[in-house]
Amino acid sequence: MTRLLFTYVLLATCFLLGGCDQDPWMRGAVEGYLPVYDNNPTFKQISYQPARSSVHPGKLYTYGKLVLQAESDSGLHLISYQDPAHPVRTAFLRIPGFRTATVKGDYLYADNYNDLVVIPLKELPSLSHVGRVPGMWTQKDFPPFEGAYFECVDHSKGAVIGWQKGIVNNPQCRADRGHKDTDPSQLKLSAGIVVEGEYLYVSDKGNLMSYSIAQPTAPVLKQQLTGTDRIDSIYMFNELLATVRKERSRISLYDLSNPAIINYKTGLTPPYACEILVPAGKYVYSVGNYNFMMCSPSKEPEVNVYELSADYNTLTLAGSLQFDTTYAVIRGGNYLYAGTTKGISIVDVSAPPVITRFAEKQGDIYTDMIIEGTLLFARSATWIACYDISSPASITLISKLAY
């Protein structure tokens, strides 16, 4: 009895004092992270600057004869393809804190730290009518590392625009186990921006939000659907809004028949984790996503075609094609264009569920591709390649623009 009483007392002491913590809080000079502040009231200011070379080249977007190439945390390079054989860097659109964007009509929707900005592309170089929704995304006040010690944020010093390694004396703050990001370049407030019709959809801390953009530069919040976990990506899946939550392969699908109201419809689990899915009506095409470092599919590379059930609950394998290791894929009409270890491989999908390897074009490894009309733009580690795909059986390289 005495021994049992002693055990209870010891446990109570542990809980009260934290003395039995399996992961004790470190004291003294500890390696951790220090917030980087900016207290300049104009630190979010957007500007139209002279063209410059790419340092961290990212995702491609198109607007008419322009290709916009992302520069992480900085903005977008504007590249004119008025003459596709001779692309010209025309300007750099500086958007501090930039991570993701979408182009719809004559407008660019982008994140500017935790704000949404709407830039009328037709008016460039003028920036006199830029729209802004302050605080659309919740600013994270912790570094992108699970369990990392850090100097607590002091908002009186300004806005946190980044984190740097350093020594923290007797740290009072540590990132929760839920803040699990292994690469600071992957830390993003926005999981994506989707514009469909006259509505814009975004996520914040697991919540989904719809905005009316009847006035494109003045988005108006219509609904906020509360969730639980952080949403990692958001995109359109046929006519439905799709989200993927962090560290989960299951896709949540939402009905947008009333575009102002987001209604959960169903969940869909892909047959394999880490696949790129390309929906096309009742069929869905998939390839392994070798472009993401956390995904290394164990099976042999292949293109699969699945039949999608009418209720969107089930994918049934309907065809398969042995393929090459693929890093990017995009659908253009009756063809899939895949960036592989061989260059660009083309698959004929005109008669689903039958799929046929159609043609190949030797080239670099492309990790991002986008189509505008009869031009395909492909991003490699060293350049942007422009191809004429007016004849899919024999696509032609028109130009390469080095970074």
Phi, psi at 392, each rounded to 5°: -55, -25
pLDDT tens-place string over residues 239-273: 999 998 765 578 999 999 999 999 999 999 888 76
The overall average pLDDT reported for the chain is: 87
Structure token digits, residue 54: 């790419």
**What angle is formed at CA 255 by the lines to CA 250 and CA 261, rounded to 5 degrees?**
120
Question: Which DSSP string do the residues of 186-245 spell out, in sequence order?
Answer: G--S-S--EEETTEEEEEETTEEEEEE-SSTTS-EEEEEE--SSPEEEEEEETTEEEEEE
**What angle is formed at CA 41 by the lines to CA 200 and CA 111, rounded to 5 degrees?**
20
Q: What is the pLDDT of residue 58?
A: 94
Exposed / middle / buried, residue 307 (Cβ in 10 Å: 0-12, 13-18, 19+): middle
Sheet strand arrangement including 396-402: 368-372, 375-379, 383-388, 396-402
Structure token digits, residue 291: 């472009």
| pTM for the predicted model, two decimal places | 0.84
pLDDT tens-place string over residues 70-107: 998 799 999 999 999 999 999 999 999 899 999 999 99
- Cβ atoms of 245 and 206 within 8 Å: the answer is yes
State how far the Cα of 76 lies from the Cα of 7, in Å rounded to an integer. Answer: 63
pLDDT tens-place string over residues 101-152: 999 999 999 999 889 999 999 999 999 999 999 999 987 777 867 788 999 9
Domain architecture of the chain: domains with CATH: 191-269 (2.40.10.480)
- CB count within 10 Å of CB 161 equals 16
Is the pLDDT at 276 greater than 90? The verdict is no
- Cβ atoms of 337 and 369 within 8 Å: the answer is yes
